Structure 1
Amino acid sequence: MRALDFDYMLGLVPVLLKYVPLTLGMASVSMLLALVLSCLLAIVRVLKVPVVDPFTGLFISFFRGTPLLVQLFLFYYGLPQLFPSLTALDGISAAVIGLTLHFSAYMAESIRAAILGVDRSQWEAARSIGMREGQMMRRIVLPQAARIAAPTLVNYFIDLIKSTSLAFTLGVTELMGATQKEAAGSFLYFESFIVVAVFYWVMVEALSLVQGQLEQRLGKAVQR
């Protein structure tokens, strides 16, 4: 059995570090956009907005029921076939759009459950003082739902970071794409993928620590 090339692995670390900002940037932008979209979807589902609600349900069903890789290919390779103007869409933009729509569908259901988890007395109290639905959601329900959903949303962000590795299939040279190129050039596939696995592992563990601290803070807030 061939020994691992540790010198190559150590030399690969600074090379891959240059691509971490792109990976985290894609994940952060996608998470922010998905959070906004998922809140809107969840509110529509909870309030059962006429006309819009069935389309929202269809959107969530489609993006939860199809693989992320298929969705990325659909946006990057499929849509330009129908809309030639989209041929200018680059891989990073297509990846961000795909990640945003995919995770917003999952997050919408979590946020919807968190909204419904807010005590009904809070809803009734808001209505009793004459609050409109929008005011009630913005001032009373959503702040409480955010506390309930926060740990789950961090989990989605962790999954989103790992899912950015699929962006290399669209030609994006992010962390996984850079590793693939280095491995193809050196033929040291095992060493290359071990290093990138550690990169993702470290990022996920760092976020897991943040999640743990967040859950402790939220737990103290509830106890008060």
Structure 2
Amino acid sequence: MAVLDFDYMLGLIPILLGYLPLTLELAGIGMVLALILACLLAVVRVLAIPVINHFAIVFISFFRGTPLLVQLFLFYYGLPQLFSSLTVIGGVTATILGLTLHFSSYMAESIRAAIIGVDRSQTEAALSIGMTNGQLMRRIVLPQATRVALPTLMNYFIDIIKATSLAFTLGVTELMGATQKEAAGSFLYFEAFIVAAVIYWIVVELLSKLQHYLEARLNKAYSR
């Protein structure tokens, strides 16, 4: 039975950590854009805006019903084939686009459920004093829905971070891409992927701690 090369693993840690910022950047940008798009989709679904609502339903159905990897390939390889002007799309851009559209479809349904869960009496009271639907959403519904949806949204952010590992299939050298290259050069695949797994694990655990902290802060006013 082969013995693990711990010296190689220790030496690999700082190398892979050098690519962690790109992984977090991809996930962070993807999360922000996905959250913005998800809020818009959720509001459209709740208000049942004509025409746009049907588009939102099809959008959510498509991106929830197809694998992320297929979507990444469509954006990176497929779109430039249809539109020559899109050949400038790089692996990073295609990854962010894929993460944004894919996870916004899931987050939209979570946000929609949180919005629907807000007490109807508050909505009726706001409308009775002359608030528009936009003011109602911005001032009454979304702040309360945020507290309800936060745990699910944080879990999606964790999923986005792990999903960035697919970026290496588009030639992006993030954490997973760097691990693949280092492993291919040393043939110590098990050691390399163990180090990568531990780094992902630590990042996820830190985010989980942050999630618990934010939940406690948001729920503090409701625990009295």
| TM-score higher than 0.5 | yes
For residues 104-163 of structure 1, give each alpha carbon's deviation from its aligned partner in whole angstroms, at most 9, with x where no partner exists: 000000000000010001100100001111111111111111111111110000000000
Instruction: Say yes or no: does 1:147 pair with 2:147.
Output: yes
Instruction: Say yes or no: does 1:28 pair with 2:28.
Output: yes
Partner of 1:3: 3
Q: Distance in 2 between matches of 1:149 and 1:72?
A: 27
1:75 counterpart SS class: helix
Q: How does 1:20-59 map to 2 (within 5 A)?
A: 20-59=20-59
Q: Is the 8 A contact 1:183 1:192 kept in 2?
A: yes
Q: Distance in 1 between matches of 2:152 and 2:221?
A: 17
Q: Distance in 2 between matches of 1:143 and 1:114?
A: 10
Partner of 1:212: 212
Q: Is the 8 A contact 2:147 2:215 kept in 1?
A: no
Partner of 1:112: 112
User: Percentage identity across aligned positions?
Assistant: 74
Cα shift at 1:201: 0.2
Q: Is the 8 A contact 1:16 1:178 kept in 2?
A: yes
Partner of 1:63: 63
Q: Distance in 2 between matches of 1:2 and 1:144?
A: 55
2:56 counterpart SS class: helix
For residues 8-41 of structure 1, give each alpha carbon's deviation from its aligned partner in whole angstroms, at most 9, with x where no partner exists: 0000001001100000001000000001000000
Q: Distance in 2 between matches of 1:53 and 1:162?
A: 31
Partner of 2:133: 133
Q: How does 1:136-175 map to 2 (within 5 A)?
A: 136-175=136-175
Which sits farther off after the overlay, 205-214 or 159-168? 205-214
Q: Is the 8 A contact 1:64 1:105 kept in 2?
A: yes
Q: What amino acid maps onto 1:106 in structure 2?
A: Y
Partner of 1:100: 100
Q: What amino acid maps onto 2:127 in structure 1?
A: R
Give 4+ residue runs of structure 1 displaced > 4 Å after superposition: none
Q: Is the 8 A contact 1:154 1:211 kept in 2?
A: yes
Q: Please, what is the CA RMSD of the aligned residues?
A: 0.7
Cα shift at 1:219: 2.6
**TM-score relative to the length of structure 1:** 0.99
Structure 2: gaps spanning 5 or more residues: none
Q: Distance in 1 between matches of 2:137 and 2:219?
A: 23
For residues 64-104 of structure 1, give each alpha carbon's deviation from its aligned partner in whole angstroms, at most 9, with x where no partner exists: 00000000001001111101111110000000000000000
Q: How does 1:189-200 map to 2 (within 5 A)?
A: 189-200=189-200
Q: Is the 8 A contact 1:19 1:178 kept in 2?
A: yes
Size of the alignment, in residue pairs?
A: 224
**TM-score relative to the length of structure 2:** 0.99
Partner of 2:80: 80
Q: Distance in 2 between matches of 1:223 and 1:17?
A: 40
Q: Is the 8 A contact 1:151 1:214 kept in 2?
A: no
Q: What amino acid maps onto 1:107 in structure 2?
A: M
